[in-house]
Amino acid sequence: MLFQQQSNITPSERRKILVIGRPAGITDVLADYAIQLSERLESDLFIVAILDNMESNDNSGVHETVTRGPAKEALRIFKQKAARKNIRCNDAIWEGNMEKAAEFLLQSVKRTVFVLTDSEYTKNQLSEDITIPVFSLSTTYDLEGTTMTRENKEQRKSDLKKTIGYGLLSACLYGLVFWKPDTVMHYFTKGGFYAALPVATVIVFSFAHGAFASSLWSLIGIKPLKKDALQPADSKSIGQSKKLQKRPRAYAYINPFHKI
């Protein structure tokens, strides 16, 4: 485990917000929100980039030199933004296990009031190990111009693959029909049982081309914003959770014939 620190951790009277970023870097949304929040709460910031997928080469503890390029760059931008608002900000890169990072940081960084992260996964991992509140920041809007998170990049990659794959399939199907249109038209307009041909064709096309269109919109970034009309499903799940929450109760039983 290697803990690298750019600034010394100086215990201070001011409260701190611990911001934990993911290996891919700290998103703009998280950085902006954390800075705005610390300004309002008049607190300091402590930003940590967790690199839990890298092997550490020694156990020497705190180091002055940071070699992890992207994380270092993200922290530099974060600190610059904070400095513009006159917010005191310490930063660190943690290589290794996230739970241990949280444990160590909360011991070292005094007066941490809560932890802010942009990943639900990180929040869930941390919530099990630490006692102070952990908040995760998420947005329903796909803001343009923000640093893309790893999930977004993966989603985009998957959308691109699907768009190309289904696009090629759709193009092949169109090619098949328009390659010899006269023959196709001859059989497709025969009527009777041949009616199955056009009907089946449009169904096959709607699957291939529909999947292509869906992934195309997703790739462009046009995605649904909210899910409407979920009232019946919601009330059902609330009902179920109420049922689960019902605890067994202890009842006192008084024997009226006691000592008779």
Partner 1 sequence: MDVTQFIDLNIVSVSFLFFVGFVGGLVSGFIGSGGAFVLTPGMMSLGVPGTVAVASNMCHKFPKAMVGAFKRFKYGQVDIKLGLFMAASAGIGVQIGIQLQHFILNKWGAVGSDLYVSLSFVAILIVVGSYVLYDAMKSSASGGQEKVSSLAQKLQAIHLPPMIHFKRANITISFWFTVPVGLATGMLAATIAVGGFIGVPGMIYVMGVSSIIASASELVIAFTMGLAGSVNWAMHGMVDIRLVLIILGGSLIGVQLGAIGTTYVKESMIKIVMSVLMLMVAVSRIFALPKYLNQLHLMSFGSASISILEKISFLFMCLALLVAAAIILGGMWKARKPAMMLKESFSQV
Residues that bind partner 1 (CB under 8 A): 28-29, 32-33, 35-36, 81, 85, 141-146, 174, 177-178, 181-182, 184-186, 188-192, 194-199, 201-203, 205-206, 209-210, 213-214, 216-217, 222-233
Could you give the 3-state DSSP secondary structure of residue 46?
strand
CB nearer to partner 1: pick between 114 and 205: 205
Closest distance to partner 1 from the beta carbon of 174 (Å):
7
Contacts 24+ apart (CB under 8 A), 212-219: 212/162, 212/163, 212/166, 212/167, 212/169, 212/170, 215/159, 215/162, 215/163, 215/166, 216/163, 216/167, 218/155, 218/159, 219/156, 219/159, 219/160, 219/163
Closest distance to partner 1 from the beta carbon of 20 (Å):
19
Closest distance to partner 1 from the beta carbon of 117 (Å):
17
Closest distance to partner 1 from the beta carbon of 178 (Å):
7
- What does the DSSP assignment read for 175-211? HHHHHSHHHHHHHHTS-GGGGHHHHHHHHHHHHHHHH
CB nearer to partner 1: pick between 91 and 95: 91
CB nearer to partner 1: pick between 104 and 205: 205
CB nearer to partner 1: pick between 106 and 197: 197
CB nearer to partner 1: pick between 169 and 197: 197
CB nearer to partner 1: pick between 11 and 145: 145
How far, in Å, are 93, 96, 110, 112 from residue 12 at the CA level?
A: 21, 27, 7, 10
Query: Sign of the CA dihedral 224, 225, 230, 235?
Result: positive
Closest distance to partner 1 from the beta carbon of 107 (Å):
31
Closest distance to partner 1 from the beta carbon of 193 (Å):
8
For 257, half-sphere exposure in the C-beta direction (CA atoms, 13 angstrom radius) is 0
CB nearer to partner 1: pick between 76 and 223: 223
Closest distance to partner 1 from the beta carbon of 52 (Å):
27
For 156, list phi and psi in degrees, rounded to 5.
Answer: -65, -40
Quick one: three-class SS letters along 24-44?
CECCHHHHHHHHHHHHHHCCE
Tokens 């241990």, residue?
Answer: 100
